[in-house]
């Protein structure tokens, strides 16, 4: 279930299975890539991803052996709950477990209650006026919608220049209102705004497949959530991702990766204990290597997009067998591995207007020289685009994602840039991030990671940074114990 590049990547990987599965797709729009896969082996139904009753009828008609849910919103709407009630094994979690992504306040509270490492000090607010009052004296903070909002609506404010304090206060208040509005339109959680301590460092994602008992940790992937080069512009669904060479990242140490995997594992255990049920599917942790060490920024109750494209490119296993083992609770018995010596770079191509003015980005023509892209050694994953009378038309979000594989970053970067150049529009401007995967940006990430690494290792060796006191004039101090 789903109609983006993530679901196209999953469908292609499932199609590789020697078991020759019949793949049916439930899509809100006719994704050309998913349609091609399902036409070869099954079929498709066009249906709104939040139409639970319609999805129920479609599941009854198809009578599948397994349902795989790609995006987060169907999980929030209870699609997995309905499928499980119908007795259909489901790879994707019920709403009570998907709360780990849906509510950022719930996720933070869970981490503090169960003393899961990597947590940050935070405050959650149900009234925008209370949040606006709090930030007047809060210093440097990250202001976020309390609900998952497609990776958007997050702003970090560094209050380190006294002469900008008034302007910073105005900007913070504006962001509080924006965050509150972005959550209130959903109306399915109580909190509106979450305010966290601000941290800086290098981001990466750790995804694990789990059956609720054991996990398969996928390689660490670096997503690039900002719309424009060098991490400028608004945050969006992600403009590209990298991994390699092999199942690693050039700026992340093995100990840091496994510490992050342990945080995700402990979260699964705590979540199941807190709300009940068995977590079957994917839990992803978006991390930042900070002066605290590996630090959890937020969770996803599904594969990341575009991170899944890189992870599945390196996975040496039958994805269908992994999914089947997960729903049956025997994941620990499955054999798997990851390709070594391979670099994977994925880049999204989007119409101008994305992410904040999508009306401008709708119904634009996209032309792709798919033969040239294939000859150059790249793979196209279709996303927010539809084929109308043989012409691709944009739907307002990232149109396509293109992935290249190689043995070095320079080789892979050159290949993917060559492939992206084969995508154009005669009636609109398309854009992508040129810097993603470039040796220049990779070296910058390595330097940034080494800087914070020296700080957190020194702090840990001296037993520092275990307690933070949150104090606002006129209020009772709040002590955050990180030990």
State whether 18 and 69 are in the same domain: yes
Residue 417 has pLDDT above 70, yes or no: yes
* Model pLDDT, residue 170: 85
Q: Specify if 483 maps to a domain.
A: no
Specify the CATH number for the domain of residue 269: 3.30.470.20
State whether 152 and 212 are in the same domain: no
184-242 pLDDT tens trace: 778 788 888 999 999 999 999 999 999 999 999 999 999 999 999 999 998 898 999 99
pLDDT, average across residues 330-353: 97
β-bridge mates for residue 287, sequence order: 204, 296
Mean pLDDT over the full length of the chain: 93
Q: Specify if 162 maps to a domain.
A: yes
Question: Residues 123, 194: contact at Cβ < 8 Å?
Answer: yes
**Cα separation of 190 and 171, whole Å?**
24
Helices (H), 436-478: 439-461
State whether 206 and 188 are in the same domain: no
Between 88 and 183, residue with greater pLDDT: 88
Residue 150 has pLDDT above 80, yes or no: no
Q: Specify if 48 maps to a domain.
A: yes
Between 158 and 265, residue with greater pLDDT: 265
State whether 180 and 324 are in the same domain: no
pLDDT band at 109 (very low <50, low <70, confident <90, very high): very high
**DSSP conformation class of 212:** S
* Model pLDDT, residue 100: 98
pLDDT, average across residues 405-430: 98
State whether 311 and 389 are in the same domain: yes
* Model pLDDT, residue 416: 98
Q: Specify if 45 maps to a domain.
A: yes
**Cα separation of 195 and 211, whole Å?**
33
State whether 192 and 209 are in the same domain: no
287-322 pLDDT tens trace: 999 999 999 999 999 999 999 999 999 999 999 999
Whose tokens are 């007047």? That residue is 136
> CA distances (Å), 151 to each of 98, 238, 305, 483, in order?
16, 8, 10, 30
**DSSP conformation class of 218:** P
Question: Mean pLDDT lowest for which of 24-28, 60-64, 145-149?
Answer: 145-149
* Model pLDDT, residue 49: 85
State whether 223 and 354 are in the same domain: yes
Using a 10 angstrom Cβ sphere, with 0-12 exposed, 13-18 middle and 19 or more buried, the burial of residue 150 is middle
* Model pLDDT, residue 410: 98
Q: What residue numbers bound the domain in which 302 lies?
A: 202-439
Between 437 and 471, residue with greater pLDDT: 437
Query: Among 181, 198, 215, where does a domain finish?
Result: 198
* Model pLDDT, residue 41: 79
State whether 265 and 371 are in the same domain: yes
Question: Mean pLDDT lowest for which of 30-34, 170-174, 237-241, 325-329?
Answer: 170-174
pLDDT, average across residues 9-18: 97
**Cα separation of 220 and 129, whole Å?**
39
State whether 156 and 177 are in the same domain: yes
State whether 382 and 432 are in the same domain: yes
356-368 pLDDT tens trace: 899 999 999 999 9
* Model pLDDT, residue 466: 66
Q: Specify if 110 maps to a domain.
A: no
Whose tokens are 């509510």? That residue is 103
Sequence-distant (6+) residues with CB within 8 A of 123 are: 131, 134, 194, 195, 470
Between 278 and 464, residue with greater pLDDT: 278
Q: Specify if 258 maps to a domain.
A: yes
State whether 275 and 373 are in the same domain: yes
Question: Residues 112, 448: contact at Cβ < 8 Å?
Answer: no
Q: Specify if 104 maps to a domain.
A: no
Question: Residues 23, 41: contact at Cβ < 8 Å?
Answer: yes
Residue 473 has pLDDT above 70, yes or no: no
Helices (H), 302-408: 307-314, 319-328, 370-375
Between 40 and 37, residue with greater pLDDT: 37
State whether 179 and 30 are in the same domain: no
Residue 272 backbone dihedrals phi, psi, to 5 degrees: -65, -40
Question: Residues 246, 341: contact at Cβ < 8 Å?
Answer: yes
| Residue 356, CB-side half-sphere exposure with 13 Å CA sphere | 11
* Model pLDDT, residue 163: 66
Tally the domains of the chain: 3
Question: Mean pLDDT lowest for which of 64-73, 76-85, 144-153, 396-405?
Answer: 144-153
**Cα separation of 107 and 18, whole Å?**
39
Residue 165 has pLDDT above 70, yes or no: yes
DSSP result, 143-176 = EEESB--TT-S-EEE----GGGHHHHHHHHHHHH
Q: What is the pTM of this model?
A: 0.94
Query: Among 174, 198, 222, where does a domain finish?
Result: 198
pLDDT band at 136 (very low <50, low <70, confident <90, very high): confident
Closest CA to 416 of 351, 345, 368: 345
Specify the CATH number for the domain of residue 53: 3.40.50.20
Q: Specify if 453 maps to a domain.
A: no
């Amino acid at each position: 279930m789903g109609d983006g590049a993530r679901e196209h990547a999953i469908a292609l990987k499932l199609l590789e299975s020697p078991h020759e599965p019949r793949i049916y797709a439930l899509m809100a729009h006719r994704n050309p890539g998913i349609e091609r896969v399902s036409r070869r082996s099954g079929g498709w139904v066009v249906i709104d991803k939040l139409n639970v009753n319609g999805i129920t009828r479609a599941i009854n008609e198809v009578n599948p052996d397994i349902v795989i849910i790609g995006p987060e919103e169907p999980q929030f709407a209870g699609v997995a709950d309905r499928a499980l009630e119908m007795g259909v094994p489901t790879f994707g979690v019920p709403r009570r477990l998907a709360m780990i992504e849906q509510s950022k306040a719930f996720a933070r509270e869970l981490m503090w209650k169960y003393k899961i490492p990597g947590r940050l000090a935070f405050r959650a607010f149900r009234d925008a006026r209370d949040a606006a009052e709090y930030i007047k004296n809060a210093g440097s903070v990250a202001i976020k919608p309390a609900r998952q909002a497609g990776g958007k609506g997050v702003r970090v404010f560094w209050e380190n220049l006294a002469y900008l304090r008034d302007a910073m206060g105005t900007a913070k208040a504006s962001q509080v209102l924006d965050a509150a509005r972005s959550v209130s339109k959903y109306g399915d959680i109580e909190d509106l705004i979450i305010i966290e301590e601000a941290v800086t460092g290098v981001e990466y994602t750790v995804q694990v497949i789990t059956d609720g008992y054991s996990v398969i940790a996928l390689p660490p992937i670096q997503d690039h959530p900002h719309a424009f080069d060098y991490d400028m512009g608004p945050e969006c669904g992600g403009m590209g991702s990298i991994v390699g060479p092999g199942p690693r990242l050039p700026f992340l140490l093995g100990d840091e990766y496994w510490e992050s995997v342990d945080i995700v594992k402990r979260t699964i255990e705590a979540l199941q204990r807190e709300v009940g049920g068995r977590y079957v599917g994917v839990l992803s942790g978006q991390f930042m290597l900070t002066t605290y060490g590996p630090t959890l920024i937020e969770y996803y109750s599904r594969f990341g997009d575009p991170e899944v494209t890189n992870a599945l490119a390196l996975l040496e296993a039958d994805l269908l067998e992994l999914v089947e083992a997960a729903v049956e609770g025997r994941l620990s018995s499955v054999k798997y591995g990851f390709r070594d010596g391979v670099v994977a770079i994925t880049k999204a191509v989007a119409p101008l207007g994305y992410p904040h003015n999508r009306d401008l980005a709708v119904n634009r023509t996209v032309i792709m020289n798919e033969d040239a892209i294939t000859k150059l050694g790249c793979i196209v994953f279709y996303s927010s685009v539809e084929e109308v009378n043989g012409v691709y038309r944009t739907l307002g979000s990232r149109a396509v994602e293109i992935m290249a594989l190689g043995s070095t970053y320079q080789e892979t970067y050159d290949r993917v840039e060559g492939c992206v150049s084969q995508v154009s529009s005669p009636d609109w401007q398309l854009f992508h991030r040129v810097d993603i995967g470039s040796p220049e940006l990779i070296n910058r990430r390595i330097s940034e990671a080494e800087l914070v690494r020296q700080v957190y290792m020194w702090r840990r060796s001296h037993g520092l940074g275990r307690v933070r006191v949150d104090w606002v004039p006129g209020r009772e101090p709040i002590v955050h114990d990180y030990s």
